[in-house]
C-alpha cells in the first residue's frame, strides 16, 4: 500500500489505517488477545501503515495488545496514533472528558508504557473538554511535543471553532472525525477547514459500526455491552431504512465494479478530498482480507451521484453518531 505524508509533518501513513476500538473489548463484547495480535500482524503484512488506539478502548487493554503486537521489530513499520483526555472511575462504569494538564501528563506515561515505545507518533485529544481551558490543554500537548514524547498534535471530534481556538495557542497537525457513507456531517465545514489549514485527517467509523459490511440482517442480535444496542441507526424502522440502503449500494457495487458494499464504502471514503487515512476496524485477520479489493480503482462523479441518490431514496430518517459522545465532568452525576 502506497504511503503519503501526514499533513504538514514528516510522518508517513497509508490511505487505510487499522482501528483498534473493538480489539479493546469494551462495548464490543470482550476481546481475544492472541487473535487481536494476529490481526495487527496481518494488517502490517498487508501494508497498512497506521495503527490507531486509545486508553479508553478497554481501559488500557487495546493499548496493551497493540504494544505486544508491535514489540519485536514491528514498531517502526507503522505510524502509531493514540489519544488522551478521557477519564473513568475505578469500576469502569463511568467515562467522562478530562483534558486537564495533569490528566494528559499522567496518561502519556501510561500510554507509552502500555504501547512499549518511547514516543507516540500522533497524539490526539479524544474529545473537547468544556470544563478545562483550551490553553491548558494545548500547552500540555505542546510540552509533550517539545519533549519528544509525541511527534504530532492531533484532536478528535473537534469543531472548526474549537480547532481555531487551539491553533491560536499552539500548532495543530490533525483531526480525527467520524465519517462514512451514512455519517457525512463533516462535509459542511469541518473537512473544508482541515483542507484550508493543511490539517491531516484520520477518519473513524468508516463501516458505520459494521452496518456497511453488508453482513447485518434485520434479525441480527447485539448482546452484552455492544454499543449498537444504543445506536439509533440499529433500531426499528430506521434500521430497516439503512439496511435497504446497504442492499442497494451492494447491488450497485457488484453491477458497476464487481465489488461488494464494504469495498465500495471504503473506496468512497478514501476518494474524498481531505481524507488522509481512513480507519478500518478489525478483530480477526480474515476481516482484513478485503483490503486488496479497494486498490486499483476509484469512483467517478457519476458513481458518487448514484450513491447519493440511493441514500436519499432509502433513508428518510437519517441520524448521526452523536450518541457516542461522552459526558463532561459536570454531567456524570
Active-site residue list? 57
- Cα separation, 5 vs 12, whole angstroms: 5
Number of C-alpha atoms within 13 angstroms, CB side, residue 314?
19
Residues 6+ apart with CB under 8 A from 78: 44, 48, 49, 50, 51, 70
- Cα separation, 82 vs 144, whole angstroms: 14
Nearest to 36 by CA among 14, 18, 48, 13: 18
Q: Which helix (H) or strand (E) holds 264?
A: helix 261-270
- Cα separation, 223 vs 302, whole angstroms: 40
**59 φ/ψ sector (left φ>0, alpha ψ -120 to 50, else beta):** left
> Could you tell me if 299 and 268 are in contact, meaning their C-beta atoms sit under 8 angstroms apart?
yes
- Cα separation, 144 vs 106, whole angstroms: 11
- Cα separation, 290 vs 306, whole angstroms: 23
Cα-based angle 325, 329, 330 (whole degrees, multiple of 5): 105
> Could you tell me if 170 and 138 are in contact, meaning their C-beta atoms sit under 8 angstroms apart?
yes
Amino acid at each position: 500500500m502506497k504511503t503519503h505524508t501526514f499533513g504538514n509533518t514528516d510522518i508517513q501513513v497509508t490511505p487505510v489505517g487499522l482501528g483498534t476500538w473493538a480489539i479493546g473489548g469494551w462495548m464490543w463484547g470482550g476481546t481475544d488477545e492472541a487473535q487481536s495480535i494476529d490481526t495487527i500482524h496481518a494488517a502490517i503484512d498487508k501494508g497498512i501503515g497506521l495503527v490507531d488506539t486509545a486508553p479508553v478502548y478497554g481501559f488500557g487493554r487495546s493499548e496493551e495488545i497493540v504494544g505486544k503486537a508491535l514489540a519485536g521489530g514491528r514498531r517502526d513499520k507503522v505510524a502509531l496514533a493514540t489519544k488522551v483526555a478521557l477519564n473513568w472511575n475505578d469500576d469502569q462504569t463511568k467515562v467522562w472528558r478530562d483534558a486537564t494538564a495533569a490528566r494528559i501528563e499522567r496518561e502519556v506515561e501510561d500510554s507509552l508504557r502500555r504501547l512499549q515505545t518511547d514516543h507516540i507518533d500522533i497524539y490526539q485529544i479524544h474529545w473537547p473538554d468544556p470544563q478545562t481551558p483550551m490553553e491548558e490543554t494545548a500547552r500540555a500537548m505542546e510540552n509533550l511535543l517539545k519533549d519528544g514524547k509525541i511527534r504530532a498534535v492531533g484532536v478528535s471530534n473537534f469543531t472548526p471553532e474549537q480547532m481555531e481556538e487551539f491553533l491560536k495557542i499552539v500548532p495543530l497537525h490533525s483531526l480525527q472525525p467520524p465519517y462514512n457513507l451514512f455519517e457525512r456531517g463533516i462535509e459542511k465545514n469541518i473537512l473544508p477547514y482541515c483542507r484550508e489549514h493543511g490539517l491531516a485527517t484520520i477518519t473513524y467509523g468508516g463501516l458505520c459500526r459494521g452496518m456497511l459490511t453488508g453482513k447485518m440482517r434485520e434479525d441480527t442480535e447485539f448482546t452484552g455491552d455492544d454499543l449498537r444496542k444504543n445506536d439509533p441507526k440499529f433500531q426499528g424502522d430506521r434500521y430497516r431504512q439503512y439496511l435497504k440502503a446497504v442492499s442497494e449500494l451492494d447491488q450497485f457495487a457488484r453491477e458497476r465494479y464487481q465489488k461488494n458494499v464494504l469495498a465500495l464504502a471504503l473506496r468512497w471514503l478514501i476518494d474524498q478530498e481531505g481524507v488522509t487515512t481512513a480507519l478500518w476496524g478489525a478483530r480477526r485477520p480474515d476481516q482484513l482480507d478485503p483490503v486488496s479489493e479497494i486498490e486499483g480503482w476509484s469512483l467517478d462523479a457519476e458513481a458518487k451521484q448514484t450513491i447519493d441518490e440511493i441514500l436519499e431514496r432509502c433513508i428518510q430518517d437519517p441520524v448521526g453518531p452523536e450518541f457516542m459522545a461522552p459526558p463532561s465532568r459536570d454531567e456524570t452525576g
